[in-house]
Amino acid sequence: MNNEQQELLDEVYKNYLKHNDEVDNYWIKKNPEIESRWKPYSQEEFINKCKTDPELSEKWRLKIEERDLSLEERKIHMSKYSNDRIYPDWDEKFLNEKSIPTKLITITYKDKTITYYQEKLKKD
């Protein structure tokens, strides 16, 4: 993930925390004996929830879509490095060795969309 993507997710999460602080403060002022038992999601939990919970995603205007690239899409990526030619012997193993992305991730927040490609995570 690059800085632009991280900054966008940080902004959404910051707004989420601010809103929840305001809601908590409102209820505590109305009834000082109330101890807030609700805890906000961590940033990672919040992002994962937005990926899987359409209601939460819509509420915060954050849409995160992930999809695996097909072998053909990956070959098209590789062709950018080989004079726009696609060779029939390119297989997944070869494309993985060349660090060709395996996933397309699109993040949309309000009216801003960032699209990026992620390569397969390497196992140590």
Chain segment 63-85, per-residue pLDDT in tens? 999 999 999 999 999 998 888 78
The SS3 assignment for 107 reads strand
* pTM of the model as a whole: 0.75
- pLDDT on residue 40: 83
The pLDDT of residue 1 is 74
The tens digit of pLDDT for each residue in 87-109 reads 889 999 999 999 999 999 999 99
Distance of CA 40 to the CA centre of its chain: 19
